[in-house]
Every structure is written in C-alpha cells, then in structure tokens.
Amino acid sequence: MVLGLDRGGSCLGMAWEVPGGEVSSVLAQLWGREMRNGAYQPRAVKVQLRNGRPIRALCFVARRSHPGYLRLSQDEILARVHRCAGERGANREYLEHTVVALQRYGIEDRSLSRLFALLGSPEAELATRAARKPGT
C-alpha cells in the first residue's frame, strides 16, 4: 500500500531544491524508490511556493491504469494498514511516519491523521476482522 498523490485534487507539501551537481544522483535515488513497479507517472507540475512564487516541480502521480491501483473505502484502508506490511515494513508504521513527517513541516493532512487516530480504535479492529476471509 502506498499513500500517493492522485489526479483531481490538490495538496500541501514540500518542494525540495536540489543543487545542480546532485541532480543526477537524486533523480537516480527517486527513480529507484518511486518508479520500480510502474505505479506512478512522473510529471512536472506547476506548484506555488509558500512565498507565492510559482515553479515547476517533479511529482509522482498515481497511475490509475496500474493493476495495483485501488480506490478503497476507509474501512478497507484501515484493515490493510492494521494488518499488512510491505518490503519496507509495516503499513501502520508507514502511515505513522508519514503523518509525523508532515506535521513536522507544519502540514496537517486531515484524512491521514484521521486514519492514524482510528488505527488504535475498536473500529479499526472491527474493520480488520470484517476484511479477513474465512481461514485467514
């Protein structure tokens, strides 16, 4: 599971300026991390910096045609985050790290914060049980 950008909306985030001499190595790292399974479409998009200055920035947008692209209900997301893990660790830790990192930069993503708050709730446990198939 990934927490990625999707078309049709907007978001607050961070724009990182990469020094000229590091562009190749930074792009290689980004491509190795974000483009390994084809789930994203890299795009140069218009963004507005906090000071109001417009720039173009590289973003990785969810590719809706990818077989792994899913539009899940909140209960389905809770169940997956609660019980699943990927190559880099537990989805629960991924969500927590994402929420904390955003907050560290003064960005509040209400949807992600609400999901994280619900993880410790009885609703999350019920969603997990409901999503399990018999015998799993």
Number of domains in the chain: 2
What per-residue confidence (pLDDT) applies to 129?
54
The residues, any chain, with a CB within 8 Å of residue 43's CB and separated by 6 or more, are: 58, 59, 60, 61
Amino acid at site 80:
R
Say if residue 89 is in the same domain as residue 59: no
Q: How far apart are CA 11 and CA 47, in angstroms?
A: 10
Enclosing H/E stretch for 41: strand 40-48
Say if residue 11 is in the same domain as residue 64: yes
What per-residue confidence (pLDDT) applies to 14?
82
Instruction: Kindly report, residue by residue over 35-53, the tens digit of the pLDDT.
Output: 888 888 899 999 999 899 9
Nearest to 42 by CA among 50, 34, 54, 51: 34
Domain span holding position 90: 72-131
The answer to whether 124 touches 118, Cβ cutoff 8 Å, is: yes
Say if residue 42 is in the same domain as residue 1: yes
Q: How far apart are CA 73 and CA 134, in angstroms?
A: 21
Nearest to 30 by CA among 20, 21, 40: 40
For residue 66, give both structure tokens: 């990818």
User: Degrees (nearest 5) of the Cα angle 132, 96, 64?
Assistant: 65
Say if residue 81 is in the same domain as residue 113: yes
Q: How far apart are CA 112 and CA 1, in angstroms?
A: 13
Computed over every residue of the chain, the mean pLDDT equals 83
Instruction: Kindly report, residue by residue over 45-95, the tens digit of the pLDDT.
Output: 999 998 999 999 998 888 889 988 888 888 898 888 888 888 888 888 989
Q: What share of the chain is helix, strand, coil (3-state, %, to 5)?
A: 45, 15, 40
